[in-house]
Amino acid sequence: MSHSLTLLSDEEREMQEAFRSFSESEILPIRLQMDQDAKLNSDLLPKLFEMGIMGIECPEEYGGTGANFFTACLAVEELARVDASVSVLVDVQNTLVMNAMIKWANDDLKKKYLPKLAQEWVGAYALSESSSGSDAFALKLKATDKGDHYVLNGNKLWITNANEAELFICFANINPEDGYKGITAFIVEKSFEGFSVGKKEDKLGIRASSTCELRFDQCVVPKENVLGTVGKGYKVAIETLNEGRIGIGAQMLGIAQGAYEAALTYTQEREQFGKPISKFQGVQFQLAEMRTQLEASRLMVYNAARLKDLDKPFIKEAAMAKLYSSRVAEKIASMTVDLFGGNGFTKEYPVEKFFRDAKIGQIYEGTSNMQLQTIAKMELT
């Protein structure tokens, strides 16, 4: 099914088709099993790297694809159309981890880590803690300067990709009395002394995506593994998350697209009162509403991604795209379950998974209330 082709160049359309083909051939056959097992299929990771999906914005000199942010969002959208769990793995890798490394790492760190992230290592982004969700800078992970290294002590919660990751961008405070001005970003390898991955959460949706606790018990981090500048971690976090929200918008767009396509097909096949239910005006109006909201969501997400690539202001547009697309994904997925009737409530059909997966969009990488706050603040200043 074609959609919004006029929004894409020929090259972008080719990339979109490649991402879609990969999703349908490699992910669709194992989607249900991964959801039931609440675990990513280990055979899938090498294929994602081979496809170049894990290093889309990474420069070619470091083994990456060398494409732009918009292309990364296309990948996230097309993966989410089939499975939002795989989509968020790729989203975190590209729009958070890779993005932060490209923008903030010095040349030595880039040479050391970018080729690994582009070709073999999964990355994770560790900001959240039990006491710092929306209040992200109330974090308590403590970093102590020990001369030639730092020692980190504390915990992180709800860290996406934690089970698969070999590299973690972790935010800790070196001077808690200075508040956010003490926050510093560190690159932590899974093998570092004193670091471990803890409990995996049992989630409602995106179940194959690992979400875990991280433990830092006298974790030793070399001085050279500071990302950016000491005491400027808040800037790394804010700017990266602003871009990451567009990625989540793309994920929600993909969920909505997948659910809508399922509804469109099913309503033309399911018969009641002697004809397909798509022949009833009530159903036609629901499909029309879904399509209109889907298209509005796509325009907002694509616009925000284009602005980012053009180095134009995009923070408000990113917040609006995430806010709206997450609402649309939940609404379209819910309407699709309704249109499937009793079948929609069973795991025999894929639409209940779209419904479960959509809910997280209004929670992670900034709740809907936080997006509203950002939009209002920027409108009133």
Q: Which two tokens stand for residue 318?
A: 């990113």
Phi, psi of 202 (to 5 degrees): -100, 105
Separation CA 128–CA 365 (nearest Å): 10
CB 56 within 8 A of CB 64: yes
How far apart, in whole angstroms, are the C-alpha atoms of residue 227 and residue 220? 15
Q: ∠ at Cα 310 (307, 313), nearest 5°?
A: 50
**Helices and strands in the chain: count of H runs, count of E runs:** 12, 10
- Tokens, residue 182: 């003490």
Cα–chain center distance at 378: 24
- Ranges of beta strands (E only) in the chain are 122-126, 142-145, 149-160, 165-173, 183-189, 195-200, 211-222, 226-227, 271-272, 275-276
Structure tokens at 123: 């990355």
Of 196, 244, 253, 192, nearest in space to 3 by CA: 253
- Phi, psi torsion values for 248, nearest 5 degrees: -65, -35
Residue 146 contacts residue 76 (beta carbons within 8 Å): no
Say how far apart CA 144 and CA 146 lie, in whole Å.
6
Neighbours of 100 (CB within 10 A): 24
Please report where in the chains the tokens 């990625």 appear, as a residue. Answer: 247
Q: What 8-state DSSP symbol labels residue 132? A: B
**Among residues 213, 352, 365, 379, which one is catalytic?**
365
Determine the Cα–Cα distance for residues 272 and 49; give it in Å rounded to an integer: 46
Q: Indicate if 365 belongs to the active site.
A: yes
Task: Please name which of 187, 103, 176 lies closest in space to residue 144, comparing C-alpha atoms.
Answer: 176
Q: Just list the catalytic residues.
A: 365
